[in-house]
Structure 1
Amino acid sequence: MIFGKAVNKYYLKYAHLFIFGLIALVIVDYVQLEIPILTGQLIDGLDQGTMDKSGILDLVKLIGIYVSMIIVGRFLWRMFIFGASRRVDYGIRNEMFEHCENLSNSFYSENKVGGLMAHFTNDVESVRRAIGPGMIMLVDALFLGGLAFYHMFNLDVTMTLFAGIPLIIIAILGAYMGRKMRNKFKEAQKAFEDLSDFTNENLSGINVVKAFVKEETEINEFLKINTRAKRKNISYVKSQTLLQMSIRAITGIIYVIILGYGGYLVHSTAGTTEEFTVGYLTTFILLFGSLLWPMRALAMIINVRSRGKGSLQRIERILDEVPDVFDSEDVINVEEINGKLEFRNLSFKYPDGSEDALSNISFKVNIGDTVGILGRTGSGKTSLVDLLLRLYNINENQLFIDGIDIMKLPIKKVRESIGYVPQDGFLFSDSISNNISFGLEKKKDYFNDIQEAAKLSDVHDNITEFSEEYETIIGERGVTLSGGQRQRLSIARALIKDPAILILDDSVSAVDTKTEETILNNLNKVRKGKTTLIIAHRISTIKDADKIIIVDEGKVIDVGTHSELLKRCTFYLDMVERQKLEDEVEVD
């Protein structure tokens, strides 16, 4: 049983289940210890000839009733306590996922997804075991052990003191070993986290591994990480086994002492007024047998609690992470966003960066404009998109949407008004229709809208070639699709929202020029009166834009139309000439 701010509220929430379960457990423990007493009475009655057939049957019937109560009671406490622990498991996992969904990009730049999966699986399971089975073992050890000692003390004080020796040793041993085991378990969980992260990352990039013929290298690397995880787990299991075997050895020795001393008492007190009968010895041995479980349970409690406490600390580390991107207290609620943008002397540095990614950026975008953003790789184009999506905080009065500082607009409203197509075109392992309609509320049938969006992004014909058409399940990250198909599905996913602001971040780089032209023509038709930002490397993608913004080394070099930039911007002219030369080489 463990306590912490992440689990305490669940004890209160499911207190009724825990209480009913503990009541059933206590009743079972009480009744369970009545059976050794009745067994001793039965043996003495038979040995001394003081019990007739009717008395024997009555005693056996009573034992049968107690056994039935134990069976029912054990079912009830399992149902209540295990059921409650599963609900806690469910609640913590939901809380973690919801919290992770709200954490900022900076958190995910420091924590790998594969490693986080270990928290959702192993750590939550360890916490559940500490709450459910851990609670049962703790109450069992205290109540059953205490009641067994009480009955044993009434039979013989000396033998009871012998039986109490292991508890003192176990307490000292447990305090020492518990701390070591908790640290060892945290190390083992960290090793599993590294293993999970490596496996996730490697299998996600399996095509790259195969392309570079690095299967053997990656297998060897996996073996190293797996070996490290094995060593950490073996180290933990050694400590756990040492504790358990020490307790078993101690209790075994005491059992032999009690058997020998009890036999001596039966022999030496025979015929006296304070005779210690065979029935008493049988009762004592059965009671001590009942006490063995609480003693051994102490080792299990230390084990389960050490694991649970270590895992809870790891879980709380995630839950204690505070999102650094959130609505300000003076947020301005607006009914809709129209799409007028202004960057006003904006400078920005990523949280883990040492230099500005953007420096003194200034330009305006009017409602309905189609704006191209052009620049070399790493020039800061995607950084502009990150800020428009409010993925990071910026200084006030540097970026405005519809004349309002973006830092004072509701984050949800800003993101709802933007249709974003990222460079990698991330897709979920789901049906094509669900991927396209991802940004919509699932309150009605959007199939016609899905088809229309697919036609606009020129992917409809490809989809109809699949056996299941729009219900085709694509692989993880869309691995069953070509790069161009993934990009076009991502474009369809953004278009179906009909957003006030559409952002294409190098989103037609994987399609041929004919398909690119089709998509751009469709955009011109459906995006009239709405703002569209197109980030590109190819001049052909943005040459017909209302204005083109040239970005280099985090700064805006020039802003103008294609024809204007050809006349005055040497950087733009150089890019045009280079791409013309590349096109000529390809034709040759």
Structure 2
Amino acid sequence: MILKHLKAKEWALMVACTGFIVLQVWLDLEIPDYMYQITKLLMQPGVTVEQIMAQGWPMLGLALGSLGTALVIGYIAAYVATSLAKRVRAMQFHKVQSFSANEINKFSTASLITRATNDVTQVQMAVAIGLQVIIKAPIMAGWAIIKISGKSWQWTSATAVAIIVMLTLIGVLMYFVVPRFKKIQWLTDDVNRNMRENLKGIRVIRAFNAEMYQEKKFEKANEELTANNLFTGRAMSLMMPVMTSVIGLLSLSIYWIGALLIDAAVGIPARIGLFSDMIVYIAYAMQVVMGFMMLVIVFFILPRAIVSARRIEEIIDTEPSIKDGTVASGPGNGEIEFDKVCFKYPGAADYVLKDISFKADHGETIAFIGSTGSGKSTIVNLLLRSYDVTEGSVKVDGVDVRDYTQEALHQKMGYVPQKAMLFSGTVFSNVAYGDMSSERTEADVRTAVAIAQGAEFVEGMKGGYYASIAQGGTNVSGGQKQRLSIARAVCRRPEIYIFDDSFSALDYRTDRCLRSALKKETADVTSVIVAQRVGTILDADKIVVLDNGSVVGIGKHHELLDTCPVYREIVESQLTEEDMRR
């Protein structure tokens, strides 16, 4: 239940809110009694204004009191609802931060965004309105029924018929509408997914003139959501006209029954009493009907809110498959060892990596090369512990990565992803990014950018090292993004550098200059390089050749040329015979 995330203060406010609602209902239901007295006075000859106002002033006071309690109830409801929404949204964000790639793929990015935004809004709206309506409606209806129960069985019967008609209508509509309400949030996920895909791939879409194809995909998801919303909207739109008709017919029946009763009464006093009772009864009957009308408002909101709450709870209750170990820190020199590692993705039948074993000592550069899909990036993911191995072990500084806390493990590493990722901010904030950013000075950032061969273009930007970077780095080129991404890893001063095909966006001259500068910077640090270009890894201390998830060769460049046919085939496809033997 989503309400379990409320704090003690908010529960106390809800109790107080209930008290104010009871007070408001009492004030509202006392007003008809004064109306009864005023009506009787008006029917008497010689009545004065002072006598009328003697009943009118208390009645006005009750109305103002009801207004005041309504304001307090609204304030409390808004505070509780927004506090819960803020907390639940933060809990979702925190939980998603702990998710491995497996959990993120399970929910999908579009669904995670919808759950943290649209779903939270649905819950917030339900709590805000529910506190004012769900509690008030039954109290008001029940109390008003008690007030009118002894007035006249004819009027009570008319009111009972009206209530039965309303309950029947609500029941029928809910039977057809609630299942549709439950689908809306999932259909919203589909629309968001299509929109996100379209925005991310807009260049490819335009390059292939695929706008119409994407529009059809989006239109299909959009039409399904629209049709669902139209069905629920049209069904619920029947509610208010029928309710209005019931109220009108109930009022008419009360007047008609009252006219018959008054006509049958003997004597003026008796008729005056019946007329006053009729006026009061109508007021109470309207309170009963209003109570049920407020419940209708709840039925508009509650089904979607329940679905949203379950979706939010699904995120919060999901346990990450990657759990922290107990090793929080320790001396290390960047030694890496894979011992008989096998891995397959969750739910997959085939292994992506099979019996992978190698070791990189302190200060060594170890490189991985192989055809697309051979498992190079998967090795990086296991080293970063984006996934856990299926069999075997991955060790850093002699400790299994599963025994480290994730913070301690990641502090040892400077990671440059295959697809460079920049965040909205400045050049400085992107390069000094991470848990040690407060320790980095402008001099550190300048040095890191210079090593990454980015000083020229950064200093040419307006603002230099404090130049603005758009979300995703859309205001810089692919090569510039890659260099800033490399600078970020250098600025971290890690024990292990991980370059996951990080030089592919660079021209050959920049690539050569960058590797030369990095060689000096990383002389005493372990480096892991995943590459497609043979030229990038020629000077590596160890080259691991992968083919279909298996190691088919380990050694230096010249050794592998003679001992590993797979490596020689890759080299021959990229280098001349003269370059191969350099």
Query: 2-side partners of 1:277 and 1:204: how far apart?
Result: 73
**Displacement, 1:203?**
0.7
Q: Using a 3 Å threshold, how does the CA distance of structure 1 residues 179 and 413 change in structure 2: closer, same or farther?
A: farther
Q: Using a 3 Å threshold, how does the CA distance of structure 1 residues 378 and 396 change in structure 2: closer, same or farther?
A: closer
Query: Is 1:142 aligned with 2:133?
Result: no
From 441, 445, 455, give the equivalent of 1:446.
441
**Displacement, 1:583?**
12
Hey, what does 1:483 align to over in structure 2?
478
Aligned length: 578
Query: 2-side partners of 1:582 and 1:71: how far apart?
Result: 91
Q: Using a 3 Å threshold, how does the CA distance of structure 1 residues 468 and 179 change in structure 2: closer, same or farther?
A: farther
Hey, what does 2:308 align to over in structure 1?
311
Hey, what does 1:542 align to over in structure 2?
537
Q: Please tell me whether the aligned partners of residues 371 and 547 of structure 2 are also in contact (alpha carbons under 8 angstroms).
A: yes
Hey, what does 1:382 align to over in structure 2?
377
Hey, what does 2:261 align to over in structure 1?
265
Alignment-mate amino acid for residue 532 of structure 1: S
The equivalences for 1:171-250 within 5 A come to 171-250=167-246
Hey, what does 1:466 align to over in structure 2?
461
From 344, 349, 353, give the equivalent of 1:349.
344
From 112, 117, 126, give the equivalent of 2:113.
117
2:575 aligned counterpart, secondary structure? helix
Q: Please tell me whether the aligned partners of residues 436 and 492 of structure 2 are also in contact (alpha carbons under 8 angstroms).
A: no
Alignment-mate amino acid for residue 52 of structure 1: T
Q: Please tell me whether the aligned partners of residues 423 and 505 of structure 1 are also in contact (alpha carbons under 8 angstroms).
A: yes
Hey, what does 2:565 align to over in structure 1?
570
From 74, 78, 83, give the equivalent of 1:78.
74
Q: Please tell me whether the aligned partners of residues 179 and 306 of structure 1 are also in contact (alpha carbons under 8 angstroms).
A: no
Task: Deviation per CA, 1:433-460: give whole Å up to 9, x if none.
Answer: 2222222345456333222222221112
Hey, what does 1:391 align to over in structure 2?
386
TM-score, scaled relative to structure 1? 0.92
Alignment-mate amino acid for residue 356 of structure 2: I
Task: Deviation per CA, 1:338-364: give whole Å up to 9, x if none.
Answer: 211111111111113221111111111
Q: Using a 3 Å threshold, how does the CA distance of structure 1 residues 74 and 547 change in structure 2: closer, same or farther?
A: same
Q: Please tell me whether the aligned partners of residues 185 and 306 of structure 1 are also in contact (alpha carbons under 8 angstroms).
A: yes
Hey, what does 1:322 align to over in structure 2?
319
Structure 1 residues not aligned, in runs of 5+: none
Query: 2-side partners of 1:266 and 1:568: how far apart?
Result: 113
From 507, 515, 523, give the equivalent of 2:518.
523
Hey, what does 2:503 align to over in structure 1?
508
From 166, 169, 182, give the equivalent of 1:170.
166
Query: 2-side partners of 1:86 and 1:157: how far apart?
Result: 46
Q: Please tell me whether the aligned partners of residues 397 and 405 of structure 1 are also in contact (alpha carbons under 8 angstroms).
A: no
TM-score, scaled relative to structure 2? 0.93
Q: Please tell me whether the aligned partners of residues 344 and 397 of structure 1 are also in contact (alpha carbons under 8 angstroms).
A: yes
Query: 1-side partners of 2:392 and 2:199: how far apart?
Result: 44
Task: Deviation per CA, 1:371-408: give whole Å up to 9, x if none.
Answer: 22111211110010010011112256522211222222
Query: 2-side partners of 1:125 and 1:114: how far apart?
Result: 16
Structure 2 residues not aligned, in runs of 5+: none
**Displacement, 1:581?**
5.0
Alignment-mate amino acid for residue 552 of structure 1: D
Query: 2-side partners of 1:144 and 1:542: how far apart?
Result: 78
- Greater mean alpha carbon deviation, residues 482-491 or residues 180-189: 180-189
Query: Is 1:25 aligned with 2:35?
Result: no
Q: Please tell me whether the aligned partners of residues 381 and 551 of structure 1 are also in contact (alpha carbons under 8 angstroms).
A: yes
The equivalences for 1:33-182 within 5 A come to 33-49=29-45, 51-182=47-178
Q: Using a 3 Å threshold, how does the CA distance of structure 1 residues 63 and 272 change in structure 2: closer, same or farther?
A: closer
Q: Please tell me whether the aligned partners of residues 371 and 549 of structure 1 are also in contact (alpha carbons under 8 angstroms).
A: yes
**Displacement, 1:272?**
6.4
**Displacement, 1:92?**
1.2
From 277, 285, 294, give the equivalent of 1:288.
285
Query: 2-side partners of 1:476 and 1:215: how far apart?
Result: 24
Query: 1-side partners of 2:348 and 2:474: how far apart?
Result: 32
Q: Please tell me whether the aligned partners of residues 544 and 551 of structure 2 are also in contact (alpha carbons under 8 angstroms).
A: yes
Query: 2-side partners of 1:412 and 1:214: how far apart?
Result: 43
- Greater mean alpha carbon deviation, residues 302-311 or residues 198-207: 302-311
**Displacement, 1:178?**
3.0
1:286 aligned counterpart, secondary structure? helix
Q: Please tell me whether the aligned partners of residues 328 and 407 of structure 2 are also in contact (alpha carbons under 8 angstroms).
A: no
Hey, what does 1:335 align to over in structure 2?
330
1:48 aligned counterpart, secondary structure? coil
Q: Using a 3 Å threshold, how does the CA distance of structure 1 residues 525 and 179 change in structure 2: closer, same or farther?
A: farther
Q: Using a 3 Å threshold, how does the CA distance of structure 1 residues 37 and 298 change in structure 2: closer, same or farther?
A: same
